[in-house]
Amino acid sequence: VMTAGLLSGCSSQSNGGKLVKVAICVSSQTPAAIAMEEVFKPMVEEQTDGRYSIQLYDSGVLGAEKVTYDYTRSGIVEMCVVGTSMWSETPVMTIPDFPFVFRDVEHARRCYQGELGDYITEEVEKEQPVQLLGWFPNGAREFTSNKELNSLDDFQGQKLRMPNNPIHVRLAESLGANVVIMDMGEVFTSLEQGVVDGQDNPLSTVKSEGWYEVQDYVYNTDHIITSLELFAGDELWNSMDEADQKVFEEAARAASDAAWDMYIDEMESDKQFMIDQGLTVTDLSEEDRAAMIEKIQPVYDYLDSEYDWAKDVREMIANIE
Amino acid sequence: MKSFLDRLFKIIDYFTGILTGGMVLFVFLNVILRIFFNSGLTWSEELSRYLFVFVTYIGAISAMRAGEHMTVDILVAKVGPRVQMVLYVISQLIIAILMAILVHGSTKMVLQNIASRTAALGISYAFLYSVGIITGVSIAILALANIAHAVTHPDEISSIVTGSVEEAEHAARPEENKGGNEQ
Amino acid sequence: MTLVVFLAALVGGILIGVPICFSLMFSGVCMMLFLNGFNTQILSQNLFSGADSFSMMAVPFFVLTGELMNRGGITKRIVNFANALVGHVRGGLGYVSILAILLFASIMGSAVASTAALGVILIPMMVRAGYNRDRSTALVAAGNILSPIMPPSVPMIIFGVQAGVSVTKLFMGGIAPAVYLSAALCVVWFFIAKKDNLPTAPRQSMREIVKSLLDGIWALLLPVIILVGLRSGMFTATEAGVICVAYALIVGIFIYREFKVSMLMDCLVSAAKSSAVIMFLAAAAMVSSWMMTVANIPATVTALLTPFLSNPILLMFVICLLVLLVGTSMDVTPTIMILTPVLLPAIKAAGIDPAYFGVVFIIVTVMGLLTPPVGTVLNVACGAGRINMQRIVKAIWPFLIAEAVVLFLMVLFPQIVTVPMNFFTGG
Ligand code: NA
Ligand code: NA
């Protein structure tokens, strides 16, 4: 690994191939990063006979999500795997953060890899100098807390850390929680010290960030099943012939499949891991799910007032088998 | 002209001071709200963070004018005045070029982010990124002015590159020496 | 090879007199050109992202606290209290200085600021009592590096943010080393007092001690508030900064009545300027560190350090020597900003606790403030003690050696740092 690093550090033509830097905003242990390393990279490098050399930078070392997306648009990095931080300028990218639109994770996968994904991709590519090559699981978000949290009423008055995104903030507020916005990097210490009581993230994140050590309750709500997307900048894309583009597209699709398979396998083991670590894990019952959807109606009202297509998209998702 | 600039930079310093006061206020407000009222303002973290960015960028201009950016003079203090002049002109040129790069890059960021807004307050990223243009242009002008001053006052070059006269005064007066940034 | 370009551009820029912040950007641009990846947005974006940090806001807050304490009469009451307590032993004012510095260090975050504030009070006091001027000045200089070791600490905030290590944990890790270092300074001073046959002052009555304690109680409560607040999770390190500002303001205005509201603007401006310099440099370091990441330089350095990875103590020892060397000519913030991304992967690869490393790393780095040719604390102490550089350099070495011995012990026996750190953190 180190020799490879030395070589690629010396020249952008390492291994004889064109260097393709891929900024990944999640840790190397996540399904998306593993799929990029084990599926995407070898597939592209082999099928283009080494004309491209893929270099992955995981854990956000090249910058925050929004920044690496900007780098991709500018051609500073060739590709990136990021979440939905470009939502304010590309409104369709709010869709992956819509709460309770997917029936379950399998349904979310079919939507992203099918009609819904195609719809968003078309809208994004129409406006932005990027290609959206593939949809990866970012995870189903669950709530965790230090205070008792296993029913809808428990949200009342809890201090929950939320990402700086109006949908997430409104969701937590409509559940009765007090929202504290802070950066991912400060969450561990804040949970440990009780600056906040809890947060919402996929269990895989709770595991990889070590938050389970400082949390007591998990409420498996799956309220948002959000995505990561693989983008390629147009500068790279337009420099490739059609055959190479096809290779990249197929590798992205294969990596996407691998990541979703991995993620779905992991969900159960992550849950078991939390139980083994002594956390109280509660699944969301059908009645509570219905009650929760009712309670977060203000979020849908907000979405419908902001985006005239929001209702149609929810219907489209509901109609996907 | 000189007194106009002095006054301008005095105003700039006051401006950064007020922004710093704002940072204290918003963070303090949130701590109090959280500890005593178990609630918080979603926008105060974002606002204080961007005030901080402005303090840093605008303060950097003021520090450039006052010659307060940390510098190492172990080599330049030892060479003759002629070499000092050459090195000084080169180093100020490097600064001007770097700031031209900053202006160009910030302009690209502004254009790229016309439509994107921050999450809590909806401030335009284009507006936030434009502070890089202001700082870049200002520091580049100051660097070029430094060159012009040095070339027209060659007898002062030694004290310019080492800042020796000022340094003794600074060290003797503790109230000017708080930040850990003097050489 | 990129490592060479990085170092050549950085060191070259610094040596020809380019301010360190611009030298860092310059080395970033040189690496871009070398890697055929020149793009102006890399510079502008990383500079912005570097300044856009909530945790770093603790820097202006603690700088502002120092300003408010000096003008609000808090600083001199700490000295009075220390004097009443230990002023009567042989060379007592030396111990007074060490105690006052330690107390002061538990509120101030920057060595240069505390040297400036305490130097003008402590050095003339000792000289008037007939102590050797050079050695008195050296003691104050050597003592004041405790400021960034005892929490709160600006360098620890900078390191913690860059390394992704809990700032609170670093703070808690600094308490024990600060006490060891003060003890070491006391030992050195004991021998100096004996050799110079320093005079003693009359012992103060219990009433006088209680009086100075009561007068100084509000000042002495501030470190307690910081420690308890951080330890109990009432607030984060950044928030502790604003609590300190508010507290110092209230005590200065309403209790000691020495702080006038009209002084507030000056304090704010001064804090803004000082922290802008620190932050602009920290942000500039993001430009070169981004290029280093792209070029995999940390992996290169880890490879260079591979022979030591299997022996953590040896690795720490090598790193300490390297940092001491860099510290002779480089100031604290740039040393941290430049070396952290390079060294951290090796530290992790060797299985060393990054928080323990951070504490030791900060101590070595701030020792650089006492080593010529570039030692900012030396400069400021010289100004306060009215002596020149040569004289203080001659007088500082016994203290510096004592501090190096403490450092060596902390490398050899990491437990003397980690056990108290975990105790204070509650882990
Ligand atoms: Na301190
Ligand atoms: Na030094």
A69: nearest CA in chain C? Answer: C45
Q: Measured between CA atoms, how close is A76 to chain C, in angstroms?
A: 7
Distance B170 CA to ligand 1 centre (A): 23
Distance CA C376, CA C115 (A): 10
Distance CA C63, CA C45 (A): 27
How many of the other CB atoms lie within 10 Å of CB of C16? 20
**Candidates C29, C154, C272; nearest CB to B16:** C272
C236 contacts A189? CB cut-off 8 A: yes
| pLDDT score of B168 more than 60 | no
Picking from C146, C147, C154, C155, the residue whose alpha carbon sits closest to that of residue C183 is C146
| pLDDT score of A1 more than 70 | no
| pLDDT score of A192 more than 80 | no
> Is there a contact between B139 and B97 (Cβ–Cβ < 8 Å)?
no
**Candidates C49, C164, C296; nearest CB to A5:** C296
Compute the residue count for chain C: 427
In the beta sheet, which residues pair with residue A231? A80, A132
Q: Measured between CA atoms, how close is A175 to chain B, in angstroms?
A: 14
C4: nearest CA in chain A? Answer: A10
- Which of residues 123 through 162 in chain B touch C, CB cutoff 8 A? 128-129, 132, 161
In the beta sheet, which residues pair with residue A131? A232
Least confident among B45-54, B89-98, B150-159, C77-86: C77-86
C-alpha torsion angle, residues C11, C14, C20, C23 (rounded to 10)? -70
Phi/psi for B40 (5° steps) reads: -165, 165
Place of tokens 């007194």: B3
Q: Please state whether the peptide bond connecting residue C373 to the residue before it is cis, i.e. omega within 30 degrees of 0.
A: yes
A167: nearest CA in chain B? Answer: B119
Compute the residue count for chain A: 321
3-state secondary structure of A153: helix
What lies within 8 Å, CB to CB, of A182 at 6+ separation is A161, A190, A196, B45, C54
Distance CA A211, CA A205 (A): 8
C373 contacts B71? CB cut-off 8 A: no
Geometric angle at alpha carbon A35, from A47 and A33, rounded to 5°: 125
Distance C66 CA to ligand 2 centre (A): 23
Phi/psi for C30 (5° steps) reads: -65, -40
3-state secondary structure of A81: strand
Instruction: Give pLDDT tens digits for A25-60.
Output: 888 888 999 999 999 999 999 999 999 999 999 888
- Residue A33's Cα: distance from chain center in Å? 11
Instruction: Give pLDDT tens digits for B87-120.
Output: 999 999 999 999 999 999 999 999 999 999 888 8
Q: Measured between CA atoms, how close is A311 to chain C, in angstroms?
A: 36
β-pairing, A217-220 vs A18-24, is unpaired
pLDDT at C234: 74
pLDDT at C55: 73
pLDDT at B164: 53
Mean pLDDT of the region A240-266: 96
Place of tokens 């607030």: C235
pLDDT at C306: 87
Amino acid identity for residue C113 in this structure: A
Spell out which residues have Cβ within 5 A of ligand 2, the ion.
C 327-328, 368, 371, 374-375
3-state secondary structure of C260: coil
Token pair listed for C386: 């009215």
| pLDDT score of B181 more than 60 | no
Using the Cβ of A180 and the Cβ atoms of chain B, whether some distance falls under 8 Å is answered with yes
Band of residue B166 on the pLDDT scale cut at 50, 70, 90: very low
Q: What is the ipTM metric for this complex?
A: 0.87
| pLDDT score of A7 more than 60 | no
Distance CA C188, CA C87 (A): 17
Token pair listed for C93: 């004012």
**Candidates C14, C243, C272; nearest CB to B72:** C14
Mean pLDDT of the region A13-17: 61
Instruction: Give pLDDT tens digits for B122-145.
Output: 899 999 999 999 999 999 999 999
Q: Is the dihedral of CA C365, C371, C374, C380 positive or negative?
A: positive
| pLDDT score of C71 more than 50 | yes
Q: Is the dihedral of CA B26, B28, B31, B34 positive or negative?
A: negative
**Candidates C18, C234, C380; nearest CB to B91:** C18
Distance A242 CA to ligand 2 centre (A): 59
Which stretches of chain A are assigned E, i.e. beta strand? 18-24, 52-57, 79-82, 130-145, 159-162, 178-181, 198-202, 217-220, 225-233, 280-283
pLDDT at A109: 97
Q: Measured between CA atoms, how close is B122 to chain C, in angstroms?
A: 16
Radius of gyration of chain A (CA): 20
Q: Please state whether the peptide bond connecting residue C152 to the residue before it is cis, i.e. omega within 30 degrees of 0.
A: yes
Distance C377 CA to ligand 2 centre (A): 9
- Contacting residues of C for B73, CB less than 8 Å apart: 17
Distance CA C402, CA C195 (A): 17
Distance CA C20, CA B158 (A): 19
Report the number of distinct structural domains present in chain C.
1
> Is there a contact between C1 and C262 (Cβ–Cβ < 8 Å)?
no
pLDDT at B8: 93
| pLDDT score of A6 more than 70 | no
Write out the residue range of the structural domain in which residue C48 sits. 2-425
Q: Measured between CA atoms, how close is B113 to chain A, in angstroms?
A: 8
pLDDT at A118: 97
Distance CA A151, CA A163 (A): 22
Using the Cβ of C202 and the Cβ atoms of chain A, whether some distance falls under 8 Å is answered with no
B72 contacts C20? CB cut-off 8 A: yes
> Is there a contact between A262 and A39 (Cβ–Cβ < 8 Å)?
no
Token pair listed for B12: 């700039």
B28 contacts C16? CB cut-off 8 A: no
Using the Cβ of A57 and the Cβ atoms of chain C, whether some distance falls under 8 Å is answered with yes
Band of residue A164 on the pLDDT scale cut at 50, 70, 90: confident
Picking from C236, C228, C175, C184, the residue whose alpha carbon sits closest to that of residue C421 is C175
A190 contacts C236? CB cut-off 8 A: yes
pLDDT at B54: 97
Average per-residue pLDDT in chain C? Answer: 88
β-pairing, A52-57 vs A18-24, is parallel
Band of residue C314 on the pLDDT scale cut at 50, 70, 90: very high
Chains that touch A (3 or more CB pairs under 8 A): B, C
3-state secondary structure of A133: strand
Mean pLDDT of the region A202-221: 89
Write b or e for each residue in C144-153: b if 16 or more Cβ atoms lie within 10 A of its Cβ, otherwise e: bbbbbbbbbb
C-alpha torsion angle, residues A52, A56, A60, A62 (rounded to 10)? -50
**Candidates B28, B69, B132; nearest CB to C44:** B132
> Is there a contact between C244 and C65 (Cβ–Cβ < 8 Å)?
yes
The proportion of chain B whose per-residue pLDDT surpasses 90, expressed as a percent, equals 63
Token pair listed for A258: 């691998």
Phi/psi for A199 (5° steps) reads: -160, 175
Mean pLDDT of the region C144-169: 88
Token pair listed for C236: 């984060």
Q: Measured between CA atoms, how close is C287 to chain A, in angstroms?
A: 11
- Which of residues 153 through 172 in chain C touch A, CB cutoff 8 A? 164, 166-169
Place of tokens 């807050």: C61
Burial of A257 (0-12, 13-18, 19+ CB in 10 A): middle
pLDDT at A181: 76
3-state secondary structure of A233: strand
Q: What crossing angle do the helices spanning C237-250 and C58-71 adopt, rounded to 10°? A: 20
How many of the other CB atoms lie within 10 Å of CB of C304? 13
pLDDT at A185: 64
Picking from A92, A102, A136, the residue whose alpha carbon sits closest to that of residue A228 is A136
- Which of residues 92 through 151 in chain C touch A, CB cutoff 8 A? none
Distance C413 CA to ligand 2 centre (A): 26
A129: nearest CA in chain B? Answer: B112
Amino acid identity for residue B63 in this structure: A
Using the Cβ of A53 and the Cβ atoms of chain C, whether some distance falls under 8 Å is answered with no
Mean pLDDT of the region C275-300: 87
Q: Measured between CA atoms, how close is C39 to chain B, in angstroms?
A: 8
A160: nearest CA in chain B? Answer: B39
Distance C19 CA to ligand 1 centre (A): 27
Place of tokens 């003592």: C143
- Which of residues 228 through 257 in chain C touch B, CB cutoff 8 A? 234-235, 238-239, 241-243, 245-246
Mean pLDDT of the region A275-291: 94
Amino acid identity for residue A251 in this structure: A
Mean pLDDT of the region A47-74: 92
- Contacting residues of C for A74, CB less than 8 Å apart: 39, 41
B179 contacts C270? CB cut-off 8 A: yes
| pLDDT score of C297 more than 90 | no
| pLDDT score of B165 more than 70 | no
| pLDDT score of C59 more than 90 | no
A9 contacts C295? CB cut-off 8 A: yes
Q: Where are the alpha helices (DSSP H) in A210-308?
A: 234-238, 242-276, 286-295, 297-306
Distance CA C214, CA A313 (A): 69
Q: Measured between CA atoms, how close is A30 to chain C, in angstroms?
A: 19
> Is there a contact between B99 and B143 (Cβ–Cβ < 8 Å)?
yes
In the beta sheet, which residues pair with residue A233? A130
Distance C392 CA to ligand 1 centre (A): 24
Instruction: Give pLDDT tens digits for C347-379.
Output: 999 999 999 999 999 999 999 999 987 777 887
Distance CA A81, CA A212 (A): 26
Distance C325 CA to ligand 2 centre (A): 8
- Contacting residues of C for B48, CB less than 8 Å apart: 54, 57
